[in-house]
């Protein structure tokens, strides 16, 4: 094409009558005018009719195609097609000029088709995202790979048109640049492979709550692209993670919790060991007035009494007789309280247990699942449960362990001073 351009510039119209030159120029101008008329009809009349028809239908997929401007770029093909078909006739005999105009029209059509396919892929992705399966199997990374391939092929075809060579010739020489291309598109290749693995194994989906401390990510997945995954943290900041890092590194996905029947509550309170003791008859009578454990205290007391009687052990025998303890009764109360709580899922694990004693006292761990999985509601319900447990502990003559504070030492000092007086 470049050689023909040089020949045409140096010798176009040479040795031809002026009338023939004028005729060809007029014919060429007529072709250009006709192409503009066709462009006006295609873009202002036909395109608007098609868009109105699409917007009036009940389906939404055609609206997305209209908004993607794929039809607009398709309409832009009309003038190039007119020029490509009529210029050989208008400029008959001027082979160099014909080849230049046809080459320019081809390049124009390649670019327009590229933009049209790009817009159509965007529309197809938006249509796919309306289906529920799009959350489980995101396709944005695959669409980006398809776009990348289209742009590379378009560049190869444009270059082959300029050089008047076959695209296959250029493709055969791409092997030499393979190492350079791998280096340049390393992240894209790794991201594409990672995207396939993430989608095939359903490891990650848009809207999932993930934690990845290495990258400071703790929030919802906004977008899964070819090379990056965008996560909106709970403080509304955005963290960008390389897609392949989700395969090579570990991350925590909370989707299982979201799809289950509850969100786990796992927290311990520490009881002061000095307040743990056997229940006296007076304490048992007081505990029987507590709604949640009235039956438990009565049944347990009878059970222990029978056990002691069968073995001839008197209740006053501290070493050998079995007794209820205030901490055991308190644990039974917490169990019954949680079993009657409307926001605790009774179909999932519910435990109230002792852990190993520490220097801070005896840990009583509450392990259950809250029905409401929304973060704010979950925290409120969890706080209400522990507010009640902490407040009811003194009713069982128990004290929650707390390290001494300045106020404790001041009280001790004041009491000593009063004692010396």
Break the chain into its structural domains and give their ranges. 2-130, 133-139+165-259, 263-406
Confirm if 41 and 79 have CB atoms less than 8 A apart: no
Give dist(CA 106, CA 80) in Å, integer.
8
Looking at residue 415, its pLDDT comes to 61
Q: Are the beta carbons of 188 and 142 closer than 8 angstroms?
A: no
Q: What are the tens digits of pLDDT across the range 198-244?
A: 776 677 888 888 899 888 899 998 888 877 889 999 888 999 888 88
Rounded to an integer, what distance in angstroms lies between the CA atom of residue 112 and that of residue 77? 7
When comparing pLDDT for 378 and 320, which is higher? 378
Radius of gyration of the chain measured on its C-alpha atoms = 40
- The answer to whether 350 and 420 have CB atoms below 8 angstroms apart is no
Out of 258-272, 331-345, 398-412, pick the least confident.
398-412
Phi, psi (5° rounding) for residue 163?
-90, 0
Q: Of 42-51, 62-71, 118-127, give the range with the top mean pLDDT.
A: 118-127
Q: What is the per-residue pLDDT across 110-162, written as a single tens digit (0 to 9) for each? A: 888 888 898 888 888 888 888 877 776 677 777 877 888 888 888 888 887 77
pTM across the whole model: 0.54
Give the C-alpha separation, 145 to 32, whole Å. 37
Residue 411 confidence (pLDDT): 63
* Residue (of 251, 170, 187) closest to 213 by Cα position: 251
- CA dist 93 and 17 (Å) reads 13
Among the listed residues 27, 147, 34, 183, the one whose alpha carbon sits nearest the alpha carbon of residue 97: 27
Task: Please report, for residues 50, 132, 146, 386, the alpha-carbon distance to residue 120 in angstroms, rounded to integers and kept in the order given.
Answer: 16, 21, 12, 55
Which CATH code is given to the segment(s) 133-139+165-259?
Answer: 2.30.30.60
Does residue 13 have a pLDDT over 70? no
Q: Concatenated DSSP letters for 80-131?
A: HHHHHHHHHHHTTT-HHHHHHHHHHHHHHHHHHHHHHHHHHHHHHHHHHHTS
Q: Tell me which architecture the domain covering 263-406 has in CATH.
A: 2-Layer Sandwich (3.30)
Name the burial class of residue 45, with classes exposed (0-12), middle (13-18) and buried (19+) by CB atoms within 10 angstroms of its CB.
exposed
At residue 240, what are phi and psi to the nearest 5 degrees? Answer: -105, 125
């Amino acid at each position: 094409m470049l050689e023909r351009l040089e020949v045409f510039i140096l010798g176009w119209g040479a040795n031809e009558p002026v009338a023939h030159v004028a005729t060809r120029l007029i014919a060429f101008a007529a072709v250009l005018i006709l192409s503009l008329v066709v462009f006006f009809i295609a873009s202002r009349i036909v395109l608007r009719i098609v868009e109105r028809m699409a917007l009036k239908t009940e389906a939404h997929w055609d609206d997305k195609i209209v908004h993607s401007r794929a039809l607009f770029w398709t309409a832009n093909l009309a003038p190039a097609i007119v020029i490509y078909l009529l210029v050989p006739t208008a400029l008959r005999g001027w082979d160099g000029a014909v080849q230049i105009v046809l080459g320019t029209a081809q390049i124009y059509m390649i670019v327009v088709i590229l933009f049209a396919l790009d817009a159509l892929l965007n529309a197809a992705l938006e249509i796919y995202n309306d289906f529920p399966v799009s959350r489980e199997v995101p396709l944005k990374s695959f669409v980006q790979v398809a776009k990348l391939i289209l742009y590379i092929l378009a560049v190869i075809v444009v270059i082959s048109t300029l050089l008047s060579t076959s695209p296959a010739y250029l493709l055969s020489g791409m092997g030499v640049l393979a190492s350079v291309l791998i280096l340049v598109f390393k992240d894209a290749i790794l991201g594409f492979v990672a995207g396939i693995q993430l989608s095939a194994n359903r490891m990650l989906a848009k809207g999932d709550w993930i934690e990845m401390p290495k990258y400071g990510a703790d929030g919802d997945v906004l977008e899964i692209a070819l090379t990056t995954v965008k996560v909106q943290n709970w403080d509304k900041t955005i963290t960008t993670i390389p897609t392949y890092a989700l395969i090579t590194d570990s991350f925590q996905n909370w989707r299982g919790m979201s799809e289950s029947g509850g969100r786990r509550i796992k927290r311990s309170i520490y009881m002061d060991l000095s307040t743990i003791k056997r229940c006296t008859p007076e304490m048992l009578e007081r505990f029987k007035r507590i709604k949640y454990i009235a039956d438990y205290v009565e049944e347990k007391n009878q059970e222990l009494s029978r056990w002691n009687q069968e073995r001839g052990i008197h209740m006053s025998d501290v070493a050998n007789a079995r007794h209820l303890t205030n901490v055991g009764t308190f644990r039974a109360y917490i169990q019954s309280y949680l079993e009657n709580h409307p926001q605790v899922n009774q179909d999932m694990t519910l435990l109230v247990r002792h852990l190993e004693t520490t220097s801070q006292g005896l840990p009583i761990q509450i392990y259950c699942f809250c029905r409401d999985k929304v973060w704010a509601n979950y925290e409120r319900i969890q706080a209400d449960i522990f507010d009640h447990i902490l407040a009811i502990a003194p009713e069982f003559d128990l004290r929650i362990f707390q390290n001494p504070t300045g106020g404790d030492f001041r009280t001790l000092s004041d009491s000593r001073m009063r004692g010396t007086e």
